[in-house]
Each structure stands twice: as structure tokens, then as C-alpha cells.
Amino acid sequence: MNMEPYLFVYNLLSIKGIGRVKANKILGSFQNELNRKDIDINVLQNKLLNYLSKAQVDEVISKKATNDNINSTNTIKNVKFITIYNDDYPSELRKSLKSNAPTILSYIGNLNLLDYPRVGFCGSRKASDKGLNTAEDIATQLAEMKLVNISGYASGIDQKVHYSSLKNGGSTIIVLPEGINRFRIKKSVKDVWNWDKVLVLSEFFPNHIWTSNRAMQRNATIIGLSDAMVLIEAGERGGSIDAGYKTLKMKKNLFAPIYQGMPKEAIGNQILLNKGAIKLMKSKTTGRANLNKLFKLIEDKDNNDQLSL
């Protein structure tokens, strides 16, 4: 009897007391098996007994978490899965989040987008018109430079980034704060949608619902996947400024736009500039956001990555 690797991983994560850190450690013994089509149950049992009790091992083998949390009710087909030790798991995510990297990712769309330089976005759901225009300008410039945008899927900044990128021929990655089965193409991006240019990712059980904790956790994944981050109109508290702090803690470049007429509620941008974020201003020559420093940092990182291969 065999079990598909992704079902084994979800079953393991469904056991009480097994979080992603412990699961990642256990799965280190299954690297070869995780890159196969399925895993022999006898192999599973023998190796798992080095880490779990007999009762826990039996639960992993017989667990029916797949029935409750994995079976797809999504009208979109072709959901696929990558475990942390699969060859195509994003190395930047594992490098950034280390032992706390997502144990498994479910996805729909073009996984090859992870092979390109990526810029992440975070910002207010209730951004001002200037904030939305700034997000549109930056996302458009990145699309023109063939850089991939990454963001969540909320209203406001997230939706503006995805729309602007796809409208201008760019590519975009959506990272969900809920399970992949809950994903639907929203009206705001439907007219520019192109599955060759989109990747949708989730680190949660496929039927998990949105929670604030999952949204915060998801932000760390966006940062981990990104070569640099752009933060637009963060408040003094909340998910956006928390993402900014996480970016700085991971020692990644954080760009914070500053412009006339910025809402007083967006005090988070200035707070993060005082903590080490990079000020992003409009170019007097072009009237667009001056992204020269961001482009240079991405180019330097890409060159360094190539040298380390």
C-alpha cells in the first residue's frame, strides 16, 4: 500500500502537537520519498517510529484529514502540491524562513514565475487614491522590467498590484491567507486574467478559512518569496506595518513611498523609514516613482545568486 507524498504531509501536520517546525525536521528523513509519485507505507512506518509514538504513526497512516480538509470543492482544476523537500520548492523561501518555512504549498498556475526576480507588496485595504495610483505606477514599471509582483488578494493595494501588472503584460503571484480551494478569480482582475502570467499559492490546508493569524503568517511567506518589498500606506498598527517589521528583521530591502497628501493614518511608512526602510520618491523628470535603486538592488542580488550557483 502506498500514499501520495502530499497526503502524507497533510496527515502529519494534522497530528496534534506537530507544527511546521517539527514536521520540517521529520520530513528531512523523507527527502528522496517526497520527490517520488508515492511512498511505501512500510517505509513511512519504519522511519516515523524514530520521531513519533506508535499511536501517532498509526494516526498518520490512517488519518482521514484528506477527506475533511483536502478534497477539492474548487471549480478551478489542476491544484498541485510542493512539499518543502521537493526539488521545485522555492529555495528563497526556505532560506528566508528557515525551519519555519511552509511545510507544503498548494498552487494553481505558472510555477515557473518563481524562477524570476520578485518584488512583494503590502499595503492598506482602504488606500487613498494617491496610494492606489502609486501602487499602479510601481507595479506597471516592474511589469515593464519583466519583474514578477507578489501580493495578497485583498481589496485596495493587493488588487491594484495584480491588475496593473497583468494589464501591462507582467506576471503576478497571489499568496492566499486561506486554503487554495477557496480561491476564485475576482471581478476586479477577471478582464486581464492570464493563467500563463499568474501563480496562486497557499500554505494552508486546502479548505482552511481566512483568519487574522493566517493573514499575518501569509505575510511572512510573501516576504520570504520576495527579493525586495514595497509598503504602501501602512498604519501605526496592523498587518501592513507588521509586514514591514518582518521585512527588516529578515534583512530584506523595504521601500516605503512618501508623497504629498499621504493620509495621516499612513504613519507606518514614516515609522519604518526611521527603522531602516528606504524612501521611495517620485522622479521630477518622469513624474513616476523613481525605482532606480530598487532595480539596482535586484540586479545585484540576481548577479550574486548566479555566482553562487
Q: Domain check: are 50 and 143 in the same one? A: no
Q: Which helix H or strand E contains 166, and what residues bound it?
A: helix 157-167
Q: How many structural domains does the chain have?
A: 2
* Stated length of the chain: 309
Amino acid 187 reads: K
The grid coordinates listed for 307 are 555566482
242 pLDDT more than 80:
yes
Label residues 185-209 b or e (16+ Cβ within 10 Å = b): eeeebeebeeeebbbbbbbbbbbbe
In percent, the amount of the chain with pLDDT more than 70 equals 93
pTM exceeds 0.85 for this model = yes
Q: Domain check: are 87 and 191 in the same one? A: no
Q: What is the CA radius of gyration of the chain?
A: 20
Among 48-62, 256-270, 272-286, which stretch is predicted with the lowest mean pLDDT? 256-270
CATH number for position 167: 3.40.50.450
Among 59, 86, 106, the domain boundary falls at 106
- pLDDT tens digits, residue range 179-230? 999 999 999 999 999 999 999 999 999 989 999 999 999 999 999 999 999 9
pLDDT band, residue 2 (cuts 50/70/90): confident
- pLDDT tens digits, residue range 36-85? 999 999 989 999 999 999 999 998 988 655 555 566 555 556 899 999 99
How far, in Å, CA of 251 to CA of 49, rounded?
A: 38
Q: Domain check: are 114 and 247 in the same one? A: yes
How far, in Å, CA of 24 to CA of 60, rounded?
A: 15
Q: Domain check: are 271 and 168 in the same one? A: yes
Q: Domain check: are 102 and 197 in the same one? A: no
pLDDT band, residue 309 (cuts 50/70/90): very low
Query: Across all residues in the chain, what is the average pLDDT?
Result: 90
Q: Domain check: are 250 and 135 in the same one? A: yes
Residue-number span of the structural domain to which 15 is assigned: 2-106
- pLDDT tens digits, residue range 93-144? 999 999 999 999 999 999 999 999 999 999 888 888 999 999 999 999 999 9
pLDDT band, residue 173 (cuts 50/70/90): very high
Q: If DSSP states are collapsed to H, E and C, what string results for 99-146?
A: HHCCCEEEEEECHHHHHCCEEEEEECCCCCHHHHHHHHHHHHHHHHCC
